[in-house]
Structure formats: structure tokens, C-alpha cells
């Protein structure tokens, strides 16, 4: 586990979902919100909770916020609070700040004031969903850069009962197969002689247009 001590500021839907998942994965999570109802709601899940205004520098300092491995600013609607909180965290020397942005401008400001990573959950989820809805085989999509992605897709019909060597997508389609998911099994160290079976899910890396060509093959 890379990050153990995490603080989440803002317990809206995003902050709460993140808190639940990080706690489930074994992180110690400090949950902060200025609404006491939200704080009480997560008392059972978070390691520590505090009802506080994150724009209060003294409160954050007294919590020893700079000692956390990562601090997530999950405030969206209140742009002023999101930006001021990020500035204070930066000034207090927090090692890694992840901030949620509502839109591109908000994201730009957060980057400028020192957020190490800016996330756009609504936009990113919508893009992902659109790609999944429109695709033939794509089950999941991770964007590595605007040009490159990793996709999980159902093995196309013409690949079935052929080995990785035979389909040779690296040469023919400029796509690398990173892994094969077969039922509960995940084959990560791929042998060129590994034969693709019906129902296999291929984890493929490549340029978006090359992945699209792969996706257009008949299932
Ligand atoms: P989501 O979409 O995740 O539900 P949102 O983008 O609508 O959330 P907000 O509702 O603005 O985001 O904020 C999320 C949480 O942050 C709320 O529970 C709110 O009480 C809390 N919050 C807002 N401002 C502050 C602040 N200054 N200090 C602490 N918590 C705050």
C-alpha cells in the first residue's frame, strides 16, 4: 500500500465514496467536513473524524495535516473553499494534494495554487461511460494520455483459438496485449504461445485509434 495516512476534506458523494473505498483498502483516513451531519455519518468508517472549516489554517495545523501522506480536497460546489483550502495545505507543506475540480477553469486554478493532481470525477466518468456505451467490446478504459489508453475488451471472434503469436496484434495493429482475464484468473506474464479462448477479456495498450480498430473487429 503506497499511501497509508490519508485525509479527506469534504464529505459529499465523492468524498464519502472515496473514504469508504480507502478504508476498505486498509488506509487510515481522517475525514473532515464543516457539516456535523456528514461527519457523524462517517464516524464508523473513518479512523478519525473532525467537524471543522478547512479554510481555518490553525485547525489544519493543529491536526498535523502536513504529516499525512496525501490530502484530498473533495469540495466541489464551494469553489472558494476548495481553492483556499488547497493554498493553505500547500503552505503547510503537505506532500501530496489531490483536488477535485468542477470544471476546467476551477481545475486550472487548483493546479496554479499547488494541487499535485486535479481530478474531474463527473467529466471523467461521463467520458468513460460514453466510450463503453458506444464500443463493441470495451469493458473498461483507462486514459494514459490524450493519445494512449489501456482498454479491457472481450476477445474478438477472429482471435479465438489462436495464440498471441498468431494474432500478432503488436505488428498488425500496433497494440500490445498486457494481460488476459479468464474467469477469476488473470494471466499477466503472457507467453507468445498462450491461446485465446472464447470469453477471454484482453487488456490492451495502444494509441486510441489503433485500439478503436481492434474494438471494431467482429465479436
Ligand atoms: P459531491 O458531488 O461529491 O456530492 P460537491 O461537488 O457538490 O460534492 P460540495 O457539496 O460543495 O461538493 O462539498 C462537499 C462537502 O464539502 C460538503 O459535505 C460540504 O459540507 C463540505 N465543505 C464545503 N466547504 C467546506 C469547508 N470550508 N470546510 C470543510 N468542509 C467543507
Which CATH fold would you assign to the domain 5-119?
Rossmann fold (3.40.50)
What single-letter DSSP state applies at residue 195? B
The answer, as to whether pTM is greater than 0.85, is no
Q: Is pLDDT above 80 for 1?
A: no
Q: What is the CA radius of gyration of the chain?
A: 22
How large is the average pLDDT for residues 188-214? 92
Q: Please give the Cα distance from 76 to 43 (Å, whole number).
A: 22
Which CATH superfamily, name and number, covers 124-215?
Answer: Regulator of K+ conductance, C-terminal domain (3.30.70.1450)
How large is the average pLDDT for residues 128-148? 81
Ligand 1 center from residue 123 Cα (angstroms): 18
- Residue 33 contacts residue 53 (beta carbons within 8 Å): no
pLDDT value of position 2: 62
Q: Report which ligand 1 atom has the smallest distance to the Cα of 84.
A: 27
Q: Is the CB of 81 under 6 A from ligand 1?
A: yes
Q: How far is CA 95 from CA 14, 55, 71, 215, in A?
A: 22, 18, 8, 40
**What is the domain partition of the chain in residue ranges?**
5-119, 124-215
Q: Is the CB of 56 under 6 A from ligand 1?
A: no
- Which of 30, 32, 33, when mutated, tests ligand 1's pocket best, judged by the most ligand atoms within 8 Å of its CB? 33
Q: Is pLDDT above 80 for 218?
A: no
- Residue 128 contacts residue 141 (beta carbons within 8 Å): yes
- Residue 177 contacts residue 162 (beta carbons within 8 Å): no
Ligand 1 center from residue 4 Cα (angstroms): 23
What would the pLDDT profile of 83-104 be if each residue is shown by its tens digit? Answer: 999 999 999 999 999 999 999 9
Q: Please give the Cα distance from 135 to 151 (Å, whole number).
A: 11
- Which of 78, 98, 110, when mutated, tests ligand 1's pocket best, judged by the most ligand atoms within 8 Å of its CB? 78
DSSP state letters, 3-46: --EEEEE--SHHHHHHHHHHHHTT-EEEEEES-HHHHHHTTTTS
Ligand 1 center from residue 14 Cα (angstroms): 9
Q: Please give the Cα distance from 177 to 219 (Å, whole number).
A: 17
pLDDT value of position 215: 83
pLDDT value of position 173: 92
User: Could you tell me the three cell numbers for 201?
Assistant: 477479456
- Residue 140 contacts residue 132 (beta carbons within 8 Å): yes
From the list 61, 82, 116, the residue with the least C-alpha distance to 10 is 82
Helix (H) or strand (E) holding 49: strand 48-51
Number of other residues whose CB lies within 10 A of the CB of residue 36: 10
Give strand ranges (E) for 60-219.
Answer: 70-73, 97-100, 117-119, 138-143, 148-154, 175-182, 185-187, 201-207
Q: Is the CB of 119 under 6 A from ligand 1?
A: no
Using the Cα atoms of residue 107, residue 83, residue 114 and residue 142 in order, give the sign of their dihedral. negative
Nearest alpha carbon, ligand 1 atom 15? 10
pLDDT value of position 3: 61
Ligand 1 center from residue 93 Cα (angstroms): 23
Amino acid at each position: 500500500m503506497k499511501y497509508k495516512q490519508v485525509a479527506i476534506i469534504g464529505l459529499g458523494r465523492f468524498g464519502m465514496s472515496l473514504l469508504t473505498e480507502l478504508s476498505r483498502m486498509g488506509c487510515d483516513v481522517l475525514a473532515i467536513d464543516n457539516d456535523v451531519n456528514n461527519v457523524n455519518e462517517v464516524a464508523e468508517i473513518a479512523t478519525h473524524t473532525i467537524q471543522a472549516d478547512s479554510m481555518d489554517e490553525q485547525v489544519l495545523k493543529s491536526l498535523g495535516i502536513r504529516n499525512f501522506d496525501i490530502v484530498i480536497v473533495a469540495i466541489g460546489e464551494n469553489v472558494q473553499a476548495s481553492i483556499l483550502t488547497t493554498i493553505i495545505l500547500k503552505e503547510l507543506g503537505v506532500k501530496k494534494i489531490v483536488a477535485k475540480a468542477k470544471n476546467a477553469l476551477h481545475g486550472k486554478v487548483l493546479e496554479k495554487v499547488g494541487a499535485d493532481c486535479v481530478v474531474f470525477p463527473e467529466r471523467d466518468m461521463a467520458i468513460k461511460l460514453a466510450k463503453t456505451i458506444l464500443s463493441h467490446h470495451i469493458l473498461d478504459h483507462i486514459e494514459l494520455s490524450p493519445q494512449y489508453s489501456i482498454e479491457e475488451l472481450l476477445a474478438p471472434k477472429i482471435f479465438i483459438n489462436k495464440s498471441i503469436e498468431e494474432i500478432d496484434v503488436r505488428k498488425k495493429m500496433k497494440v500490445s496485449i498486457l494481460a488476459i482475464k479468464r474467469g477469476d484468473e488473470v494471466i499477466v506474464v503472457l507467453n507468445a504461445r498462450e491461446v485465446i479462448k472464447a470469453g477471454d477479456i484482453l487488456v490492451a495498450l495502444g494509441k486510441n485509434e489503433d485500439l478503436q480498430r481492434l474494438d471494431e473487429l467482429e465479436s
